[in-house]
Structure 1
Amino acid sequence: MMLPTVIVPGYFAPATEYQAFEQLLSQFSIPTVTVPLTKWDWVPTLGGRSIRPIIDQIDRTVQDVRQRFNTAEVNLVGHSAGGWIARIYLGAKAYDIHPEPAGSVQCWQAHQWVHRLITLGTPHTSQERWTRKNLDFVNTSYPGAFEPTVRYVCVAGRSVYGEKRLGQWLAYSSYELTCGRGDCWGDGITPVESAHLAGAENITLEGVRHAPKSAGLWYGSPSVVEQWIDYLRD
């Protein structure tokens, strides 16, 4: 049996948005579980605050999946912000940039449980002030494909060019907040250059948009999954 996969949802996304994606991977004989987040679980993280509540839920899910499938390791698939949050979870350095309750137990060093991390449309960089503190911690503590025992695969979509005109403004603004310039290609939210990571296996897929609710194809559409799913099979 192939290693089980845990899906980490994107920012403020509930697990329910990933049901079809989870079922699709299961149909490819890959046991798959989504971290059971609701929108309410994200509320404490608003305004650039600690994403510790999300990391705790990732760890509970990973440990449950390891026990359920009797396996030492799992694969993580992080969509959007779920990808860089997963990078914090992998690392050995305590995530201490926000105050933590006294005596709290931290769930780090998960690289020992994870065989590979696949990120889908993840903004691995940001100029936006609310997310920059967290992402600066990630990229300073764990630059690039940091963990030598984990295989990193970063998938970017190339479907929307950011321009200052009707229909392109959202992409332009989002790209500018992420990488510092809006006139570039991306998936409508994350520019290609930010979705890639130094030292990882970086892939760019044409015509792929950012989110499950996007019009057209997204990273979890059947024809798109077929283009990257082999990274979960070897």
Structure 2
Amino acid sequence: MPLPVVILPGYLEGATAYIALEKSLQELGFPTVTVPLRKRDWLPTVGGRSMVPILRRLDRTVKQSLKQNNASQVNLIGHSAGGWISRIYIGEKPYTIHGDAIESDRLWSAHPHVASLVSLGTPHISLERWTKRNLDFVNSNYPGAFYPYVRYVCIAGKSVFGARKKGSWLAFNSYQITCGNGETWGDGITPIEAAHLEGAENITIEGIRHSPKSPGMWYGSPEILPLWTKCLV
């Protein structure tokens, strides 16, 4: 039987946006649940603050999934910021940089219970000052595909080229503050080079956009799933 799947939503997104993806994975045979977040649950994290509130929800959901499925591991899917937040959760270094958690909280060190981490359009690097502190913690402690026994799969979308013109400004600005180059390809929010990790199974998919609310196809569209669900352990 396939391992259970836990989906961690992207920044400022609620679980309802992932209902279709959750159902599609269930139809493929994966027992799937989304971390039950609402948009307002992200408010304490705004402005580069601590991700501890999200880690608490993630940890609770993973433990419930393990118990309900009588499993020892899960496949973790992180969309957008959910991907790098998942790297904090997997890692063993105490995430105490904001002073709102102590080592005994144990909202991390989950690597023995995670068989694979699939990141969808995750900005694994950022030059933006609000996110840089958190991402510096991640990348300084867990560079690349850090744990050799965790399967890291990083999916990037190639649908929008950033440019200083109408229709491409949002992509240009988002790419610029993420990797320092606005004139590059990405999913409209995350540039390809930021969505990949050294040592991971890096996949780029043509024509997909960043968000489940984007027009057209996104990472979780049914016709796209076969391109990356084959990587789930």
TM tier, shorter chain?
Answer: over 0.9
Q: By how many angstroms is 1:102 displaced?
A: 6.6
Q: Percent identity?
A: 58
Classify the secondary structure of the residue corresponding to 1:194. helix
The code of the aligned residue for 1:221 comes to S
The question of 1:7 aligning with 2:7 is answered yes
Q: Deviations over 1:129-171 (max 9, x none)?
A: 0000000000001000001210100000000000000000000
The question of 1:223 aligning with 2:198 is answered no
CA distance in 2 between partners of 1:98 and 1:178 (Å): 22
Preserved CA contact (<8 Å) 2:52 2:101: no
The question of 1:52 aligning with 2:52 is answered yes
The code of the aligned residue for 2:78 comes to G
Classify the secondary structure of the residue corresponding to 1:223. coil
Partner of 2:205: 205
Partner of 1:36: 36
Q: Deviations over 1:153-190 (max 9, x none)?
A: 00000000000000000000000010001000000000
The code of the aligned residue for 1:72 comes to S
Classify the secondary structure of the residue corresponding to 2:77. strand
Classify the secondary structure of the residue corresponding to 2:93. coil
The question of 1:124 aligning with 2:124 is answered yes
The code of the aligned residue for 1:159 comes to S
Partner of 2:179: 179
Partner of 1:115: 115
Q: By how many angstroms is 1:229 displaced?
A: 1.0
CA distance in 1 between partners of 2:217 and 2:204 (Å): 14
Classify the secondary structure of the residue corresponding to 1:222. coil
Q: By how many angstroms is 1:103 displaced?
A: 8.4
Higher alpha-carbon deviation: 80-89 or 91-100: 91-100
Partner of 1:161: 161
Preserved CA contact (<8 Å) 2:76 2:118: yes
CA distance in 2 between partners of 1:105 and 1:159 (Å): 41
In the superposition, the TM-score normalised over structure 1's length comes to: 0.98
Partner of 2:86: 86
Q: Deviations over 1:204-227 (max 9, x none)?
A: 000010000001000000111111
Q: By how many angstroms is 1:101 displaced?
A: 5.5
Q: By how many angstroms is 1:40 displaced?
A: 1.3
Q: By how many angstroms is 1:106 displaced?
A: 2.9
Change (3 A) 1:25 1:180: same
Partner of 1:145: 145
CA distance in 1 between partners of 2:17 and 2:170 (Å): 22
CA distance in 1 between partners of 2:85 and 2:100 (Å): 17
Partner of 1:27: 27
CA distance in 2 between partners of 1:112 and 1:86 (Å): 13
The code of the aligned residue for 1:185 comes to W
Gaps of 5+ in 1: none
Change (3 A) 1:47 1:147: same
Q: By how many angstroms is 1:199 displaced?
A: 0.5
Preserved CA contact (<8 Å) 2:96 2:103: no
In the superposition, the TM-score normalised over structure 2's length comes to: 0.98
| Two-structure CA RMSD over aligned residues (Å) | 1.1
The code of the aligned residue for 1:99 comes to G
Runs of 4+ in structure 1 deviating by more than 4 angstroms, as ranges, are 101-104
Preserved CA contact (<8 Å) 2:111 2:150: yes
